[in-house]
Chains A and B, each alone.
Chain A
Amino acid sequence: METTSLHTTGSKQGKRLLEVRNLETKFYTADGVVNALNGISYSVDEGECLAIVGESGSGKTVGVLSILRLIQSPPGRIVGGEILFKGTDLLKIDDKELRTIRGGAISVIFQDPMTSLNPVMRVGAQITENIREHENLTSRQARQKAADLLGMVGIPTPAKRLDDYPHQFSGGMRQRVMIAMALSCSPQLIIADEPTTALDVTIQAQIVELIKSLQAELGTAVIWISHDLGVVARLADNVAVMYAGHIVEKAPVDELYARPAHPYTIGLLNSLPRLDARIKTKLKAIGGLPPNLLGMLQGCAFAPRCMFATQICREQAPPAIEVAPRHQVACWHSELVSAGERP
């Protein structure tokens, strides 16, 4: 997929922190090659929050785990592209350098706090080992820091909880532990891979608020993966919408919600419950299923589900074009789509 040279810039006007160019990741499975990422490009500025939104299987998680080369290999392999973090290509550095970045300058909050913490290790030890991997602290200092971090993410009586095991925490509290761990070495970028999906709705809101406030306080850049445009509206500066291993639309958050230009984005927005809807409309699901990424697709991947699809859509993949400042869309008929009344 071609991309224009113009990149979305964060509203906070920071310096460019991360730039992903034409990233391609494939999985070599027994059934054949799965094209999980088909050349995606995006960038994140210092202090920016970029949301990457898509259905499961759209490649959004693979896209961010590829940044730290955390996809399982085999079968996964990054076959092309560049990942420039402060100018250094993370795909070219050796394991040792990569290890200093993992958990140091870039950290990850994983989706499921139930399974992402080691069940047989005390949470204090799980936090301090991250600290001591990257910073020269004594074990007492690291422990003190871990307690401070737990306090910062809102865990009551943090010093006492250090010696507890993960199963002694609730789901929301475990995710707070994960967040404390991710913050422990003052990262410049946090990758949050659907950090609220596995949690109850009320807890979800608390975790979103927590990350938002920590981000504001610490000025850390965040890439937030979600399948839920509703959650994203509350915290992102920019949004990238992914479908079948492509970024199909990318825009500042307000622009995207006001003037979506890709049929898939519109579909996602229509499937959200809206409080301001004047008429009670039924929630609309997008018809059909996401494509099987096994083997190569011809034309636009969304064509089989798209009401705007024409001959050209089925034959050639649409290039990304800029429809408004910092608003890019990969669709042959985006003008038509955005002109059309939103249903």
Chain B
Amino acid sequence: MTFAYVFKRLLGTIPLLLGISLILFAIVHFAPGGPLDVYADNPSVSKEALEQIAKAYGLDQPAYIQYFLWLKAVIVGNWGYSIRTGRPVLTEILLRLRPTFELGGLALLFSLVVAIPLGILSATRRGSKLDGALTLASFAGISTPVFWLALLLQLLFSVQLGWLPSAGYQSIGDGSLFDRLAHIVMPAAVLSLATIASWSRFIRSGMADVLNQDYIRTAYAKGHGLLGVIMRHALRNAMIPAITVIAVDFGTVISGAVITETVFAWPGIGRLFMESMDGRDYPMLMGLMMMGSVGIIAANLVADLAYAALDPRIRYG
């Protein structure tokens, strides 16, 4: 049954997360520099003071001891304290979660609403000029560097036209829905570009495949028009191969869009990651990356469940 299946899968994630945490910890610690390097050249911080801080955070211990200490704390729900701000890692992350979910959610909504019709349009007019143009556009969309597009949009809409604020979550002293919408459209559009481009490709190929199937001819033989055939028969079948990609992209986008959030000074997970990276904030980085891993694993699980929900021939157990 589905419940037993989900339970089994969740059980399987425990060793997976352990392995991931070990690798991440190694990478983070092998990266050159450390959290205290910012103070190293500062004459007003004495050597003794530095040693004291290192000791307080356990940074004087060998790396493997540090890992076990970290693991022991995490198991009981303590994710440690940010070296940069001194506040609990979990609190910091939860603070940044909402902006990221808002941005990611809107971007994914954009993507679905645009990619599905584009994919269908392409598939039903295969080989036409429109199809060619959309193919070209999607390759352009996949290949466009996010930071470049973001800067271009900021130049156009903020600097030249002055229609939209160039960055930030909301204006100081404002925070009305309209103000927040004005802030979110550009980053959401930038973030959705790549997903629109790739999803519309997957939906196109799924659609093109399905439209050649015998049951589509059956649907026409019943007297359905093109729209009825697509909505009632083709779409669900065409979404089956695309759903894995879509769900995994969901996980990635929700785990924080580092570049987009940084360029637009969006106070989300992605930018927090950037800041923690700069400061070599070990506990913060570990917390963020573990959260991201959980998000992606969850997205994969959701993909499998969605797969079974769309295709009755598939049963998990």
What is the distance, in angstroms, from A15's C-beta to the closest C-beta of chain B?
24
- Of the A-B pairs whose beta carbons lie under 8 Å apart in the complex, a sample of 23, sorted by A's number, is A68-B221, A70-B217, A70-B221, A72-B212, A99-B225, A100-B223, A102-B220, A103-B222, A108-B221, A110-B218, A115-B213, A116-B217, A117-B215, A118-B218, A119-B237, A120-B240, A120-B312, A120-B313, A121-B236, A129-B222, A133-B223, A181-B218, A181-B222
Max chain B C-beta neighbours (<10 A), residue from A68, A99, A118: A118
Q: How many A-B residue pairs have C-beta atoms within 8 angstroms? Tell me.
A: 72
Interface residues of B in 227-246 (CB under 8 A from A): 232-233, 236-237, 240
What is the distance, in angstroms, from A109's C-beta to the closest C-beta of chain B?
9
Interface residues of B in 205-225 (CB under 8 A from A): 212-215, 217-225
A133 to B212, CA, bound (A): 22
Residues of B within 8 Å of A133, CB to CB, are 222-224
B223 to A119, Cβ gap below 8 A?
no
- Dominant secondary structure at the B interface: helix
Interface residues of A in 268-313 (CB under 8 A from B): none
A115 to B214, Cβ gap below 8 A?
yes
Q: Is A167 an interface residue (CB 8 A)?
A: yes
Q: Is B310 an interface residue (CB 8 A)?
A: yes
State which of B218, B220, B223 has its C-beta within 8 Å of the C-beta of A117: B218
Smallest Cβ-Cβ distance to B232: which chain A residue: A129
Q: Is B311 an interface residue (CB 8 A)?
A: yes
A121 to B224, Cβ gap below 8 A?
no
Residues of B within 8 Å of A130, CB to CB, are 222-223
Q: Is A21 an interface residue (CB 8 A)?
A: no
A99 to B224, Cβ gap below 8 A?
yes
Interface size class of B (residues with CB under 8 A): 20 to 34
A119 to B224, CA, bound (A): 18
Q: List the 6 shortest-distance A-B pairs measured between CB atoms, nearest first.
A: A103-B222, A115-B214, A103-B223, A102-B223, A99-B223, A118-B215
A116 to B215, Cβ gap below 8 A?
yes
Known: A112-B214, A115-B215, A165-B313. A121 touches B233 (CB 8 A): yes
Contact with A along B294-317 (1 / 0, CB 8 A): 000000000000000011110000
A213 to B20, CA, bound (A): 66
Residues of A within 8 Å of B312, CB to CB, are 119-120, 165, 167
A120 to B237, Cβ gap below 8 A?
yes
A95 to B227, CA, bound (A): 13
Residues of B within 8 Å of A68, CB to CB, are 221
B222 to A119, Cβ gap below 8 A?
no
A130 to B219, CA, bound (A): 9
Residues of A within 8 Å of B223, CB to CB, are 99-104, 130, 133-134
Interface residues of A in 162-208 (CB under 8 A from B): 165, 167, 178, 181
Residues of B within 8 Å of A181, CB to CB, are 218, 222
Max chain A C-beta neighbours (<10 A), residue from B221, B222, B224, B310: B222
Give the A interface residue count (CB, 8 A): 29
A119 to B215, Cβ gap below 8 A?
yes
Interface residues of B in 244-269 (CB under 8 A from A): none
Residues of A within 8 Å of B217, CB to CB, are 70, 110, 116
Smallest Cβ-Cβ distance to B310: which chain A residue: A120
Residues of A within 8 Å of B224, CB to CB, are 99, 129, 133
What is the distance, in angstroms, from A44's C-beta to the closest C-beta of chain B?
18
B218 to A167, Cβ gap below 8 A?
no
Q: Is A107 an interface residue (CB 8 A)?
A: yes
A117 to B311, CA, bound (A): 14
What is the distance, in angstroms, from A222's C-beta to the closest C-beta of chain B?
15
Interface residues of B in 165-219 (CB under 8 A from A): 212-215, 217-219
Smallest Cβ-Cβ distance to B312: which chain A residue: A165
What is the distance, in angstroms, from A195's C-beta to the closest C-beta of chain B?
13
A121 to B224, CA, bound (A): 15
What is the distance, in angstroms, from B225's C-beta to the closest C-beta of chain A?
6
Contact with B along A56-89 (1 / 0, CB 8 A): 0000000000001010100000000000000000
Contact with B along A121-165 (1 / 0, CB 8 A): 100000001100110000000000000000000000000000001
A181 to B240, CA, bound (A): 26
Known: A116-B214, A118-B233, A121-B233. A102 touches B222 (CB 8 A): yes
A119 to B266, CA, bound (A): 45
B218 to A116, Cβ gap below 8 A?
yes
Smallest Cβ-Cβ distance to B226: which chain A residue: A95
Residues of B within 8 Å of A117, CB to CB, are 215, 218
What is the distance, in angstroms, from A188's C-beta to the closest C-beta of chain B?
15
Residues of A within 8 Å of B236, CB to CB, are 120-121
What is the distance, in angstroms, from A35's C-beta to the closest C-beta of chain B?
22
